[in-house]
Amino acid sequence: MLTQLLLRFLVIIWSFLFLLECAIVEARLIDGSDNNVIDPTAGAPQQPFLRSISSLNFNSDLSPVTSPTDFLGLNPNGSTTIKCTDKVPPGMYPMPRCISNIMCSYHVQPYDFNKLSSYRSFRRTNHFITFFGQFIVGDIALSKSTNPTYPIFLPADDPLYNPNSNSTDITSPYQINVPFLPANRSDGNNDTNPATRNPLLSGKNLVTPFLDLNNIYGTSDQDAIDRLRNTSSNRGKLKTSIINGEHYPPKNISTGKYIWDNMDT
């Protein structure tokens, strides 16, 4: 009898403590805030990205890291004569395109199937994993690129965009002497003058750093209710646009672009 009473008492105490814990548990808001007691804004949109290591955008004397093409300006008129095989001047770094050409190249002939097969995924994944990874990245990190152009200059000997004019290789679909790849630098938290190259720029994250599908459901109550959901006729379901009888993501009526979280693609 005493054992049963004690057991009931313990069950009541445990139930009370469980309900008490549930009552005091705080959940972060839809915008990612209130997740950190010390810094309630940590995880909320519009916060600068944190650096896990010191910035590599400047030298030890705080001078900007430069490559030979940095002196061509932000709006070049013609192609550069600088090649990846040229000797890099002292105090400078190779052109970014030259580095990516080396890191991303296969170094294999088109019909060397044995060598090509060695680059296949041992996990038997295909290119869909690339787009899934992009979706995941967009869920935890996203920034706008509205700053003025920040061209990625192409070397004169780029094998894809600027093939040798004497070469018989006609596999490149691009015109010869393309000067640069158009790009815009991400908006930063200290852009006092976006037209200049700020080596200490820290980008801003426009989404929450959580895998919470905020790139679908939005980063604010306003997004969730008005921007992304149909609360007038479809019981709050996600909005869609109908194209040829098929459902697609919603579009911005003003721009015609697809709505993606708090940005339009």
Average pLDDT, consecutive stretches of 10 residues, N- to C-terminus, the chain (265 residues): 64 63 61 84 85 61 70 68 87 87 78 81 82 88 75 82 56 60 74 55 82 81 76 78 87 80 56
Q: Is residue 88 part of a domain?
A: yes
Q: Is residue 232 part of a domain?
A: no
Q: Is residue 191 part of a domain?
A: yes
Radius of gyration of the chain (CA): 27
Q: Is residue 156 part of a domain?
A: yes
Residues 68/96, Cβ–Cβ less than 8 Å: no
Q: Is residue 127 part of a domain?
A: yes
Q: What is the pLDDT of residue 116?
A: 79
The terminus-to-terminus CA distance of the chain in angstroms comes to 70
Please state, as a whole number, how many other Cβ atoms lie within 10 Å of the Cβ of residue 248.
11
Distances (CA, A) of 196 to 95, 122, 181, 185: 19, 45, 19, 11
Interstrand relation of 229-230 and 237-238 (parallel, antiparallel or unpaired)? antiparallel
- Residue 108 main-chain phi, psi, to 5 deg: -145, 150
Print the domain residue range for 195: 52-206
Confidence (pTM): 0.62
Q: Would you call 240 helix, strand, or coil by DSSP?
A: coil
Q: Would you call 218 helix, strand, or coil by DSSP?
A: coil
Q: Would you call 215 helix, strand, or coil by DSSP?
A: helix
Q: Would you call 17 helix, strand, or coil by DSSP?
A: helix
Q: What is the pLDDT of residue 1?
A: 58
Q: Is residue 214 part of a domain?
A: no
Residues 227/236, Cβ–Cβ less than 8 Å: no
Q: Is residue 11 part of a domain?
A: no
Q: Given 3-state DSSP classes, what are the helix, strand and coil percentages for the chain, each rounded to the nearest 5?
A: 25, 10, 65
Among all chains, which residue has been given the structure tokens 């309900």?
Answer: 19
User: How far does CA 169 lie from the centroid of its chain?
Assistant: 34
Q: Is residue 73 part of a domain?
A: yes
**How many domains does one find in the chain?**
1
